[in-house]
Amino acid sequence: MRFRGKSIRRKIVALLLVPLVSLTAIWAFATVLTGREAERLFSVSTVVEEIGYPMEDTVRVLQQERRQTLVHLADPRASDGFAALQRSRTATDDAVAEIRRNAADAEVRDDLGPAEEERLTAVLDAFDGIGSLRRSVEDGTVDRAQALGLYNRLVDPCHDLLASLEVVDNVGLDKQYRALVNLSRARELLSREDALLGSALVTGKLTAAEVRDVSDLVAQRTVMYGVNLPLLPSAERGRYERFWKNASSAPLRTAEEAALAAGSGTPRGVTAKSWDTAAGGVLAELADLDDQAADRYQDRVDPVARNVIAKVIVAGALGLIALLYSLFLSVRVGRSLIRDLKQLRLEAHEASGVRLPSVMRRLSAGEEVDVETEVPRLEYDRNEIGEVGQALNTLQRAAVEAAVKQAELRAGVSEVFVNLARRSQVLLHKQLTLLDTMERRTEDTEELADLFRLDHLTTRMRRHAEGLVILSGAAPSRQWRKPVQLMDVVRAAVAEVEDYERIEVRRLPRVAVTGPAVADLTHLVAELLENATVFSPPHTAVQVLGERVANGFTLEIHDRGLGMAADALLDANLRLAETPEFELSDTDRLGLFVVSRLAQRQNVRVSLQPSPYGGTTAVVFVPDALLSDDAPDTNGVGFRLDRPRQVADKGRDESRRSALSHVPARLPERPAALLDGPVELEAPVDLDALDGLPGPLDDEDGEGGGLFRPRRSLAAADDARPDRDDDRTDDDAPLPLPRRRTPKLVSSHGRPVPARDPRDGAADRRPADTGPDGPHTPAAPRARGDEPPALPSRRRRAHPAAGDTGAAPAGGTGDGDAAASGALPRRVRQANLAPQLRQGPEPSAEDRSDPADRDADEVRSRMASLQRGWRRGREENAAGDEVPGGTAPTAPRGTTEGDGR
C-alpha cells in the first residue's frame, strides 16, 4: 500500500486502523471460539432433549415388544400373549412417532452434526422395517432366533446414535457419557437374554444354540460392566457394584447359572414365571440406575456448561470493552492530531491565501499596516506540531515585515519619482512658457522653426514626465474642469508624438470629453499613437478613426507595421485589461502599463487587434460617462482651460484685421501659482492676422484646434487683405490657424510625398508681393468644382494700409464672441506699433493692377501643392464627381482624408 501523496488524515487513520483491526480480529476469533463451544452446548442440549431421551424410551419399548414377540412365537396359542404383544407394539409406535416428529424439526436438524444426522437417518430407516417384521411374525414366516436378530438390528442403531452425541467438550465428561451409553447397552444385553431364555422356558426346554447364546450374552454383559464402570465416578461405580452384589439381583444370577449348567433341555429349578420375575425386576432396577446416573451426569455437566458460557461472556465482553476503549483512544488521539494539523493548515492557508494577499493589496493601495495587528504572536503547545506552528507564525511575521519594508521602499521610490517628475514638470512648464515668449518675439523664420522643434520636444518631455508620475501611482497635474471637444483631445495627443506628421486624423463626430478625463485621455491616446508610429515603417501613415456607438465612443488607431504574434497580442490585451502591478524589471512595457493605468482610472477599455493593413489596431472605447454632448464650439480654435483668459482691450478690436507687426506683443502676466496647476499644452496664437477661407471651417487643420496649440507658419503670403475682405460675403466666418511647418503628406495609398528642408525652401516663405501693398494674387482656377482651396497662410507686410487701423469688417464682433466662448487669446501683430509707422501711402489702382514679380521657387511650390491637391481630390472623390447616368458635375463633396493632419 502506497501512501505517498495522501493526506495526513488518511495516514493517521491508516496508522491507527491497523492495530484496531488486529485487535478486532483477535477479539472476534476468541469470541467465535468460546461462542462456538457454548453454541455446541446449547445444540447438544437441544438434541439430547429432542432425540436422546425419546430414543432411550424407544429402545425400552422395543425391548419389551421383542420379548413379547418371542414369547408369542414360542406359544402362539396363549390367551394373553397376543394382547400383551399388541400393547407393546402400540407403545413402540408412539415412541417411534415422537422421534420422527422431533427429527423433522429444522432446528433439531441444524443442531445435529454430520455424523449424528447420518446415524439418525439410519435409525429412521430401520424403523421403517418394523411393519414388515410384524407381518412376518403374524404370518409365522420367522422363528424365534430370526425375530430376535431382526429386533436387535432395530435397537443397535439407536445405541450408535446415543453414543455419537457429544454433550460437552471435556474429555472426562465425554468418557463418562460414553460409559453411561455402554451401561445402557449392558442392559440391552440383559434384555436380549431375557427374551431368549424367557421364550425358551415357555417351550419347556433349551437348545444347545440357545444355551450358547445365553452364555455369550452373560459374558458380554460382564465385560461391558467391567470396562465401563471404572470410567464413572466412584460413587456411580459403587452403586452399580452394590446392585449386582445385593439380594435383588441374586435370583437372576442363580437362574443364569442353572440354565448354563443344565445345557440342553429343561433347566432345574428355573421356570418361565420365576425367570420373568427375576429378570423383570433386575431390568427395572437397572433402568432406574441408568436414569439416575444420567441425571447425575447432567448435574456434573451443568457447571462445565456454565463455565463455558461464562468464558464466552467474559471473553466477548472484555474483548469488546478493550476494543471500544482502544477505538476511543485511537479516535481521540487521531482527532487531536488531525485537529492540530488542520488548524495549522488553516492558519497557513489563511496566511498565504488571505492575510498576506490582503496585506499586499493594502500596501499596494498605500495603506499603513501594523505587523502586530496583522500577524500577532500566537502561542502553541510545546510539541512538534506546536513548533511547526511557531515556525510558520515567525515566517508569516517575517514575510509581512519584509512586505511592509518593501512597500515603504516602493513608496519612497515612488515619492522620489513623483518629486522628480513634479520638478521636471515645473521646469518644463516654465520652458514652454519661455519658448512661447520667444516664438512671439522672434521674426526670423529659421529661429522660429528651431523654436517650434524645441517646443515640440519639450511637449514630449512633459508627457514622459507625466508618465513617470502615473507609474508612481500619483495623479497627473494637468486637469480641466470644462468639457473639451474630442477632436481637440486627439489633436493634443498628436502634438505629443514625435512623428506627428505621419498621423492622419479623420473627421470625428462632434462630441466633448468631460474635463476631469481630458488629461488622462490625451495621454492615453498619445501613448497609443507613439507605439503606432514607432512600430511602423517611417514612410507609412497612422490613421485615427472614430465613431459614436451605443454606449460611448470608439477610437481606432491603425498602423501599417509588422503586427504582433498571437501570444504577444493576447499578453498585451491581458495587461491592458487586468492592470497588473508595475515591476521595475518590465521596462519594455512602460507605455502599455501607462495606458492600462489610465484606462483603469477612467474606466476606458483599450484592446489591440490585427489591423487590416497588416499592422496592429488599437481600439479605445470611451464610455458615455466621460462624454458630453455640450461640446464647445471651438471651430478649429480650441480652448485654453488650463489658464485664465485675458480680456482683450479696445485697441485690439480696432486692429483685429491689421497686418502683423515685427514687434512682438507682450505676453500676459501669469501668477506663479499656476505652475503647480495643470500644465498647458501650448501657448495661444493670435488669429487676427490670419487669412480666412471663403467658407466656414468645419474641416480645420489637425494642428489648429482644441488642445493642440496653433503653430506659426513659416510661409508668407500675399498681404492684400483689403481686397480679400471686400470680396468676402461672410465676415463672421472662422479663420484658419497657421501651421508650424508643412506636414509630411501621405497619399491615400500610403505613399509619402517628398518634402523639402525648410531651409531649402526659404524662397517659399518670402512674401508673395514685392511691394508693401502689392495686389492679391488670384487663386488658380480649379479643374473640378469640389477641389479644396489651398491652405491659408499668415501675411507679412512691412507697411500696413492706411485704412486698416480704423475700419473693421462687418464680422468684427467675432472677437468678442470668441472671448465670451472662451476661445484662445489672439495676438495682433503691429498692435503696439507707433501711429507714424502705421501710416503709409495708399496704393494706386495702377499699382494694384500690376502683378508683382514672384520668386520661381514660390511659384513652383504653389503649383506642386495645387497639383497634389487635385490628384488627391480626383482619387478620393472620383465616384461623386458625376451623376450615375451623365457627365454633369455633382455638388462639392467633403473629404475626410487627411483631416487633422
| 353 found inside a domain | no
What is the C-alpha separation between 83 and 72, in angstroms, rounded? 10
What is the C-alpha separation between 183 and 191, in angstroms, rounded? 12
Lowest mean pLDDT among 105-119, 140-154, 632-646, 747-761: 747-761
pLDDT tens-digit series, residues 144-191: 889 999 999 999 999 888 888 877 777 888 888 899 999 999 999 999
What is the C-alpha separation between 472 and 421, in angstroms, rounded? 10
| 10 found inside a domain | no
- What one-character DSSP code corresponds to residue 837? H
Listed residues 632, 661, 682: the one ending a domain: 632
Is 70 exceeded by the pLDDT of residue 1? no
| 556 found inside a domain | yes
Listed residues 604, 632, 660: the one ending a domain: 632
What is the C-alpha separation between 212 and 419, in angstroms, rounded? 143
Query: Do 440 and 481 share a structural domain?
Result: no
What is the C-alpha separation between 817 and 823, in angstroms, rounded? 9
The model scores a pTM over 0.85: no
pLDDT band for position 755 (cuts 50, 70, 90) = very low
Residue 107: which of 49, 158, 161, 36 has the closest Cα?
Answer: 49
Joined together, the cell numbers standing for residue 193 give 437374554
Domain CATH for 562: 3.30.565.10
Can you spell out the DSSP letters for 42-105?
HHHHHHIIIIIHHHHHHHHHHHHHHHHHHHHHH-TT-TTHHHHHHHHHHHHHHHHHHHHHHHT-
Query: Do 212 and 274 share a structural domain?
Result: yes
Other CB atoms within a 10 A radius of the CB of residue 2 amount to: 5
| 763 found inside a domain | yes
Strands 503-505 and 542-549, by their bridges, are: parallel
Query: Do 486 and 460 share a structural domain?
Result: no
Place of cell 424439526: 105
Query: Do 481 and 471 share a structural domain?
Result: no
Query: Do 666 and 594 share a structural domain?
Result: no
Joined together, the cell numbers standing for residue 273 give 414365571
Query: Do 664 and 592 share a structural domain?
Result: no
Q: Check if the beta carbon of residue 600 is closer than 8 Å to that of residue 537.
A: no
**Domain containing residue 900:** 635-901
User: How many folded domains does the chain comprise?
Assistant: 4
What is the C-alpha separation between 633 and 685, in angstroms, rounded? 18
| 17 found inside a domain | no
Joined together, the cell numbers standing for residue 354 give 488571505
What is the C-alpha separation between 89 and 83, in angstroms, rounded? 10
Place of cell 512633459: 462
Is 80 exceeded by the pLDDT of residue 231? yes
- What one-character DSSP code corresponds to residue 615? S
Tell me the helices (H) and strands (E) count for the chain, helix number first: 26, 8
Q: Is residue 553 helix, strand or coil?
A: strand
At 26 the pLDDT is 86
What is the C-alpha separation between 748 and 812, in angstroms, rounded? 39
At 155 the pLDDT is 92
Output phi, psi for 870, to 5 deg.
-60, -45
438, exposed or middle or buried, with CB in 10 Å at 0-12, 13-18, 19+?
Answer: middle
Per-residue pLDDT, averaged over 32-51, amounts to 79
Per-residue pLDDT, averaged over 57-62, amounts to 92
Q: Check if the beta carbon of residue 542 is closer than 8 Å to that of residue 529.
A: yes
Is 60 exceeded by the pLDDT of residue 895? no
Q: Check if the beta carbon of residue 70 is closer than 8 Å to that of residue 39.
A: no
Q: Check if the beta carbon of residue 285 is closer than 8 Å to that of residue 248.
A: yes
What is the C-alpha separation between 871 and 900, in angstroms, rounded? 19
Q: Highest mean pLDDT: which of 6-10, 16-20, 375-379, 553-557?
A: 553-557
Joined together, the cell numbers standing for residue 382 give 510545546
Is 90 exceeded by the pLDDT of residue 355? no
pLDDT tens-digit series, residues 681-727: 333 333 333 333 333 333 333 333 334 444 443 333 344 333 434 33
Joined together, the cell numbers standing for residue 662 give 515685427
What is the C-alpha separation between 493 and 519, in angstroms, rounded? 10
Query: Do 606 and 484 share a structural domain?
Result: yes
Query: Do 627 and 639 share a structural domain?
Result: no
Q: Check if the beta carbon of residue 830 is closer than 8 Å to that of residue 661.
A: yes
| 26 found inside a domain | no
How far apart, in Å, are the Cα atoms of 414 and each of 333, 364, 464, 571?
A: 54, 12, 15, 26
| 836 found inside a domain | yes
Query: Do 293 and 281 share a structural domain?
Result: yes
Q: Check if the beta carbon of residue 505 is closer than 8 Å to that of residue 702.
A: yes
The identity of residue 886, as a single letter, is G
Query: Do 627 and 487 share a structural domain?
Result: yes
Query: Do 595 and 461 share a structural domain?
Result: no
Is 60 exceeded by the pLDDT of residue 121? yes
pLDDT band for position 584 (cuts 50, 70, 90) = low
Dihedral sign of CA atoms 6, 11, 13, 15 in order: positive
Query: Do 550 and 641 share a structural domain?
Result: no
Vertex 560: Cα angle to 559 and 563 (nearest 5): 90
pLDDT band for position 733 (cuts 50, 70, 90) = very low
What is the C-alpha separation between 719 and 766, in angstroms, rounded? 12
Residue 600: which of 668, 524, 657 has the closest Cα?
Answer: 524
Per-residue pLDDT, averaged over 429-439, amounts to 89
What is the C-alpha separation between 185 and 200, in angstroms, rounded? 22
| 339 found inside a domain | no
Listed residues 589, 608, 632: the one ending a domain: 632
Output phi, psi for 24, to 5 deg.
-65, -40
